[in-house]
Amino acid sequence: MAVLLVAIIVACFLVVAPGASGYPFQVCGTTRNFAASDATYLASINSMAATLPRNASTSPGLYATAQAGQVWALALCRGDANATTCSSCLAQGFQDLPSACPYNKEATMYYDHCFLHYSNVSLSASDYAFSSAYPFFFSANATAEPGRFERVVSALLNATADYAAYNSSKTTLYASGAVAFDQEIPEVYSWAQCTPDLTRARCRDCLALTIQQGLGTPLYSVGARILGIRCSIRYENKPFLGGPVMVRLSAGPGALAPTPAPSPVPALALVPSVVTPVAAVVGGESSFSRNLFTITHFCFW
C-alpha cells in the first residue's frame, strides 16, 4: 500500500535578473529543522557525501541511496549522463544543498544532470509522494499552431513516458524523445525518468499524473518540466539531451504514432501530493506551479 502524503501547496513568483541561470533549483523543507548547535545531522550528511556520488555514478541505473545516523539520502543522475558527469554533479549537490537549505532536515537540489535529496524520514519504494517536486515553465508559447502543438506535445510526452516505464532497461527507467513540428518550432525534445526501484507500473503512473496534473493543460508553453524525487518529465523546443533519441514521433496529419511503439500496460491509480517551492521568472523563462491539487495563494516580488 502506498503511503500518501498530504501537503498544502503554495505557488509564488520571484522575479530575478535576466542574466540569472535556471539550475540549480532547491526545495527546502518547511516543517523540520535541526539546531545550529547540532553537529550530528550535518556530520551525517557529510559522511554520505564521501560515498554516495561514487555509488550512484558506478551503478547501472545511476542511482543510489544511503543512510547515516538519522539521515536518509537519495541520488539519481539523468539517464544520458556519464559516470564522471554524474559523480561531479552529485558532489556539487552535497556542497551546495546544506548552504542553500541551512538547518533544514529535508532538502532537495535539482541540477540539469542529477538531483540529490536527503531527509530525516526514510523514503522507501513503497512510498509514493511528490513531497519535493519542482515545476518549471517557459513563458513563451507556441503561437502559429497552438492547438496542434498541444496535441503533438501530449503525444510525445506520453510516448516517452511509455518507453521509460515499459521499454527501457529496468535499471534506468529512462527515455528520450523528439518530434518535428513546424517552421516556428522545428523540433520538440522530451525526457522522462523514474527512480529504478519503482515497479514499471508505478513508474508509468507517476509519469501519467505528472503529465496530466502537474503539467496540466493547455500545453502551449514551448518548454516545461516537473522535477520530482520519484519521477520527472520535461520537454523543450531546444536540444538538451546528451544521448540518442529513443522515441521519435511523426507529427504529420493523423500520424502521431511513436517509433518504436511501446507496449501499453495498465498503470496503478495512485494519487501523489506535492510541496512546491518558491518559483521563478528567469531570463524569459517562467517557473510557476500548476500544482497537482489546490493552489492556496500566489506571491509576487
C-alpha to C-alpha distance for 189 and 283, rounded to whole angstroms: 21
Beta pairing class for 281-282 and 258-259: unpaired
pLDDT over 60 (residue 288): no
Closest CA to 233 of 135, 149, 150: 135
Q: Are 140 and 250 part of one and the same domain?
A: yes
C-alpha to C-alpha distance for 282 and 288, rounded to whole angstroms: 11
Give the model's pLDDT for residue 283.
Answer: 36
End residue of a domain, out of 61, 91, 119: 119
Closest CA to 149 of 261, 239, 249, 291: 249
* Mean pLDDT on 127-149: 84
Do residues 149 and 180 lie in contact, with contact meaning Cβ atoms separated by under 8 Å?
Answer: no
CA dihedral 84, 87, 91, 97 (to 10 degrees): 120
Q: What is the pLDDT of residues 35-78, one digit of tens each?
A: 877 889 999 999 999 999 999 999 999 999 999 999 999 999 99
Angle between the 146-162 and 200-209 helix axes, to the nearest 10 degrees?
Answer: 160
For 68-86, give the DSSP string. ETTEEEEEEE-TT--HHHH
Q: What is the pLDDT of residues 246-281, one digit of tens each?
A: 999 986 655 555 544 444 433 333 323 233 333 333
Return the number of other C-beta atoms located less than 10 Å from residue 257's C-beta: 11
Do residues 98 and 29 lie in contact, with contact meaning Cβ atoms separated by under 8 Å?
Answer: no
Q: Which domain CATH number covers 173? A: 3.30.430.20
* Mean pLDDT on 21-27: 79
Return the number of other C-beta atoms located less than 10 Å from residue 256's C-beta: 17
Q: Are 159 and 255 part of one and the same domain?
A: yes
Q: How many Å separate Cα 210 from the centre of its chain?
A: 9
Q: Are 140 and 242 part of one and the same domain?
A: yes
* Mean pLDDT on 90-107: 94
pLDDT band at 122 (very low <50, low <70, confident <90, very high): confident
Q: Are 145 and 107 part of one and the same domain?
A: no
Number of domain units in the chain: 2
- Is residue 278 in a domain? no
Q: Comparing 78-82, 162-166, 209-213, 291-295, which segment has the lowest mean pLDDT?
A: 291-295
- Is residue 25 in a domain? no
Percent of the chain with pLDDT over 70: 73
Q: What is the pLDDT of residues 171-187, one digit of tens each?
A: 999 999 999 999 999 99
Q: Which residues contact 105 (CB under 8 A, 6 or more apart)?
A: 29, 32, 33, 34, 41, 71, 119, 120
Exposure class string for 21-45: b at 16+ Cβ within 10 A, else e: eeebbbbbbeeebbeeeeeebeebb
- Is residue 159 in a domain? yes
Tell whether pTM > 0.75: yes
Per the structure, the complete domain to which residue 228 belongs is given by 136-259
Give the model's pLDDT for residue 236.
Answer: 96
Q: Are 140 and 95 part of one and the same domain?
A: no
pLDDT over 50 (residue 16): no
